[in-house]
Structure 1
Amino acid sequence: MTSPSPCSGIGLMLCERLLSQDAGGLQLCLACRSVRRAQAARSALLASHPAAQVALLQVDTSSVASVLAAAQEVKLRYSRLDYLYLNAGIMPNPQFDVKAFFKGLFSSRVVSMLTTGEGILTQRDGVTPDGLQDVFATNLFGHFLLGLVVV
């Protein structure tokens, strides 16, 4: 069995669970943006499952070129894929707009602004070199493309 999977959090816990269920026949492939974090995740998995087969693959789901290269690498390395678990994601950090806050303090919408943050908290989403919004490319399109090409 082959399973590309993420490098931390829920993904790492899923890998732990999979190895606990089937450490003998399972081959994990940790597909992560950060090689350093992937190596740390691999070390953690091997500490609790020393006989496990855990490979690493670098992929940035916000980059079409990186996703296509990773998909080709998965196809070259593995003859079949039993699981493909994708949960890489980003969320832009909200920014506090000081001007909007002071403007809103002296308006009829002050209560709404203070209770919901509407108008004073903004999120900026950049654009990838491929012309896609960062959050969309990382959280959705990269996953879709990887699954489409690999499967």
Structure 2
Amino acid sequence: MFWTIDDIPDQTGRTAVVTGANGGLGLESTRALAGAGAHVVMAARNQEKAETARRDVLATHPQASLEVVPLDLGSLASVAEAADAIRARHERIDVLMLNAGVMAMPEGRTVDGFETQLGINVLGHWALLSHLLPVVVTTPGARVVTLSSIAQHQGHPLDPADPHLRGGYDAWRQYGNTKLAMRHLAQGLQARFEDAGVDALAVPAHPGYTNSDLQSTTAHAGGGGRLGPFYDKAADLVGMSVPRGALSQLRAATDPRARAGVIYGPLLAVSGPPVAKPLVRPGSADAVRRLWQVAERETGLPVDPAAVVRPR
């Protein structure tokens, strides 16, 4: 039997933080986690859209426990404010789902001067993780889920000399780089959890080819060139539904048998039920090192579980 939403264990008493919870995969993950009894912190930039999403979940699950926290991953100040609000209200984070992201955006800069895709997909999530890490490491059995993509296979490890691709920007290349970096974030974090003796699990997941609003946003933004409208139309024709696409990250977040060293994704890569596949790619240790170097330098924030559990 394949894993479905019905296999999510009872989440009563657990707290989940989901970025990008106001639409697409984040909204469906919120719906599933809340439906299973979790209190879900919906972290999202567009507050009007987030409130609509909250009401949508309540229409499905009237007893759902939800709260909305403003979060703009393109602003380190906003990330810090969101983390402060979450830490002030919650003593545990059982699931930290780093879901939000943009795809193949035209070259641009966040308010902190980061290339847009790197800033939102990676550095904003890195900063949120850094701020919330003290809560995560003290929550027994916590899960950190990072959202990668099949585009990781076209990506390259971040180049510390030019992570923003200022020497020659390509929207799809940078998208692949950032999605590979999110996989490396899970790998590096898991190794650090183990070194620090922390009872937590970091697991990457990807949704295959899902007909979410990601494709339409890319098409309208124009950064993906001719491929943007093509992928948008193809997703309408052959993409999985959003509830099906969200199953991989939900399994990574809730399956009691989830383990390190795998990535959760559709059986047939682009479609199918969620399964665990081994993480096999040469050079991962160096790639993780480069990610840590870039992210710490750019954000000024560490991600070091050992320093949290064994402060000097």
Distance 1:88 1:64 in 2: 15
In structure 2, the partner of 1:140 is: 122
Matched, 1:74 2:75: no
1:104-143 alignment, distance < 5 Å: 124-143=106-125
Deviation at 1:3, TM superposition (A): 1.4
Matched, 1:149 2:164: no
Provide structure 2 residue ranges, at least 5 long, that are not aligned to the other structure. 1-13, 134-312
Distance 1:19 1:79 in 2: 18
In structure 2, the partner of 1:44 is: 56
Distance 1:67 1:19 in 2: 23
In structure 2, the partner of 1:11 is: 26
Deviation at 1:127, TM superposition (A): 1.5
Residue in structure 2 matching 1:65, options 59, 77, 88: 77
Relative to the length of structure 2, the TM-score reads 0.37
Distance 1:17 1:27 in 2: 11
In structure 2, the partner of 1:104 is: none
- Which residue identity lines up with residue 69 of structure 1 in the other structure? E
In structure 2, the partner of 1:88 is: 100
Equivalent residues of 2:43, 2:68 under 8 A apart: yes
Secondary structure, aligned partner of 1:85: strand
- Percent sequence identity over aligned pairs: 33
Relative to the length of structure 1, the TM-score reads 0.73
Distance 1:46 1:28 in 2: 12
**Rg comparison, structure with higher value:** 1
Secondary structure, aligned partner of 1:71: helix
Distance 1:19 1:57 in 2: 16
What is the number of residues matched between the two proteins? 118
Which region of structure 1 is more displaced relative to structure 2, 72-81 or 9-18?
Answer: 9-18
**Deviation by residue 1:45-96 (Cα, 9 ceiling, x = unmatched):** 1111111111000110010100011111110011111011111111345xxx
RMSD: 1.3
Distance 2:113 2:130 in 1: 20
In structure 2, the partner of 1:2 is: 15
Distance 1:44 1:129 in 2: 31
Secondary structure, aligned partner of 1:84: strand
Residue in structure 1 matching 2:35, options 20, 25, 33: 20
Provide structure 1 residue ranges, at least 5 long, that are not aligned to the other structure. 94-123
In structure 1, the partner of 2:66 is: 54
